[in-house]
A and B are shown apart, each in its own frame.
Chain A
Amino acid sequence: MKQKAAEAAAQRDLARQIAEEDRLLAAHDSGALEAYVTLIRQRVERNWVKPPGAQPGLECEVQVTQIPGGTVAAVRIGRCNGDEAVRRSIEAAVLRASPLPLPDDPTLFERNLLFTFKPEQ
C-alpha cells in the first residue's frame, strides 16, 4: 500500500534524524562540537573588521554554506539591522575566513552554518 510505504519511509527518516541528533548530542557532550564551533568563531572574529556602524544593538544573521574542505560557497545575509557598510564587513569577514577550519572528527562537518553577528562592545 502506497500510504504505508510512505509512512515507513518517514519513520526511517525520523529514526535517522534521531540518531543524528543523538550523535551530535554525544559530540556536544564530549566537547568536540563545541571545539569545532569555537574554531570557526575565532577565525571569523579575527577577520571581522568592525565598521563604525557595528555597535552594541546590532544583530545580523548570515547563512553560510561551506563545501567539504571548508571553502565558503555562499554567504547570504538574513535578518540584519545594520547599514550597507556593516553588511559588507560581515560578508567580507566570512569570505576572508574561507577556507573555514575543519573539525577533528570529520563526521561533525556541517555544510550549513548560521552566524549571528552581535557585537558586545
Chain B
Amino acid sequence: MMRQLAVLPVMLLAVLGTLTAGPVRAELQIQITEGVDKAIPVAVVPFGWQGSGTPPPLDAAAIIAADLARSGRYAPMDRQDMLQRPTSSAEVDFGSWRIQNTDVLVIGRVVETGAGQYDLQFQVFDVLRGQQLLGYRQPATTADFRRSSHRAADIIYEKLTGIRGIFSTRIAYITVVRGSGRIAGKTSFRLVVADADGENPKVMVESPEPLMSPTWSPDGRKLAYVSFEAHRSEIYVQDLRSGTRQRVSARPGVNGAPAWSPDGRRLALALSRQDGNLDVYTLDISAQMPTRLTTSPAIDTEPAWSPDGQLIYFTSDATGGPQIYRVPSDGGKIQRVTFEGSYNARPRVSPDGKQLAVVHNDRGNYRIALFDLARSTIQVLTDGRLDESPSFAPNGEVLIYATREGSRGVLATVSADGRIKQRISAVEGDVREPAWSPFSPN
C-alpha cells in the first residue's frame, strides 16, 4: 500500500503587503496511517467490601478482568504485580500506574444494601490523562452476582471501545453425552444454556433422542429447537424461565432448521411435507400456518432472517454444490447470493445486515467464512478441518462456532476480523450447534 509521507516544509503565513504579520506558527506536519494491534494494558483492582453481613460469593473484579481479557482488546495486569490496591478515587496515584505502563484503571467497591443485596460501585480511569472516564453503580444480589459482574464489564467495555459489550449475553448449544446420561448406559442429548464465557451451564432439555438447531427468540426469553423425542422431527418453542413448551410444527416429513424472525412472530423453517423434498417456509407461530417460499426440486434449507425481517437467506443445492440464495420473507423472486467456491452453507446474517457468516469449503476443509454482501467477497476466518454452525454475537464483533478436537465437538470464538480466536474451555461433552443470544433484557 502506498504510504503518503507528508513532509511539508513550513509554509509562510506572512502575507506580503500586510504590515501586521503576526507571530508565525511554524509547524511540522506528520501523517499517521498505521497503528498496532495490541491489547491495551488495564488494571482491575480487587474491589473493596463495605458491609456487615456475608461478603459476596464471587470476585467481581476477577470476573470483569477475565471478560476484558477474553475480548482480546485488553490485557489485565496480574494482581500480584499491583503495587497499590485503591478502592476509592482518593487513593488513586496515577503516576505509579503510569510507571507500570497501565493505560486503564478500574477500581470499585461492593456495598451491602440489604440481606444478600449489593451495589457494585466502580470507576474507570484514563491513567495517561489522569481522568475518570466512568463512575457507575450496578445493583446485584447473591443469586445474580456473576451476571451483574458481567454487566459491569459490558458497561466498562462500551465506555472504552464505543461498542456494546456481550459479556452478560448467553449461548445455547447441544451436547451429546454418551453412556452417562440420565438413563444409564444410554446416549443423552441436551440443550444447554450457559453464560457467554461457558460458565453457569443449565440443561434446558434432555432427551435420549437427538436435539438440534436451537434458535433464540429476539427477546432472549425463548428457544425454538428440533426434537426427535417422538422418533421423528418436531419443532418446539420453550420458555426459558418457566420451562413450559409448545409444539409448533410436527408435519409429516422433516421439520427442521427453525430461525426466529426479528419481530418474534414467525419462524422460518425447512419442511419436506409429503414429497420428501426440503423447501423453505415461514410459520406464523400463533396461527401455526406455514407459508411456502421455495418450490424447487433442490434441497432448500437452513433459513436465516435479515435483521430488518425483509429477506430470508438459505442454503440450496439447486446448482449442484450448496450455495446461498435469498428470497423476500413474504415470498417472491429467488436470487443466488454466493458464487465463489464449491461449498457455502448455513448462512447467518450479521447484526448490521452487511455480511453473512457461512460454512465454506476452503481447500478441502470446512471453515467459517464471512461473505460481504455489498462486495461479494469471502474471507475465511477459522483454520479447522470441520468447523460448523457459525453464530454472531449480538454486537457483531465475534462469532461462536463448533469445531473438532479429536473426535469431540468443542466451542470456539473468532473475532469478525479473524484476529482473535479462543476456545470456550468451560463447556464439556461433545458439543455442537452453538447459538448466541440477543442482548439480554435488563
Contacts and interface: CB of A to CB of B under 8 A. Distances in A.
A83 B33 CA distance: 17
Contacts of A50: 35-37
The SS class assigned to the A binding surface is helix
B183 interface: no
A49 B35 contact: yes
Given A113-B27, A114-B28, A37 B33 contact: no
B184 interface: no
Nearest to A48: B35
A41 B37 CA distance: 17
A93 B28 contact: no
B5 A117 contact: no
Given A6-B19, A118-B32, A28 B14 contact: no
B30 A41 contact: yes
Contacts of B21: 10, 13-14
Interface in A58-102: 83-86, 88-89, 91-93, 95-96
Contacts of A93: 32, 35
Interface stretch (B160-168, B173-181, B290-298, B426-434): B160-168
Given A21-B12, A33-B9, A112-B25, A45 B129 contact: no
The SS class assigned to the B binding surface is loop
Interface in A26-68: 28, 33-34, 36-38, 40-41, 44-54
B91 interface: no
B34 interface: yes
A25 B189 CA distance: 76
A119 B30 contact: no
Q: In which size bucket is the chain B interface? A: 35 or more
Interface in B17-67: 19-21, 24-38, 40
A121 B1 contact: yes
A13 B20 CA distance: 11
A95 B34 contact: no
Contact of A20 (B7, B10, B160, B162): B10
Given A21-B12, A95-B128, A51 B31 contact: no
A95 B38 contact: no
B6 interface: yes
A117 B160 CA distance: 19
A92 B10 contact: no
15 contacts: A10-B21, A28-B9, A37-B7, A45-B35, A46-B36, A48-B35, A84-B162, A91-B128, A96-B103, A113-B29, A115-B29, A118-B31, A119-B33, A120-B1, A120-B34
Interface of A: 6-7, 10, 13-14, 17-18, 20-21, 24-25, 28, 33-34, 36-38, 40-41, 44-54, 83-86, 88-89, 91-93, 95-96, 110-121
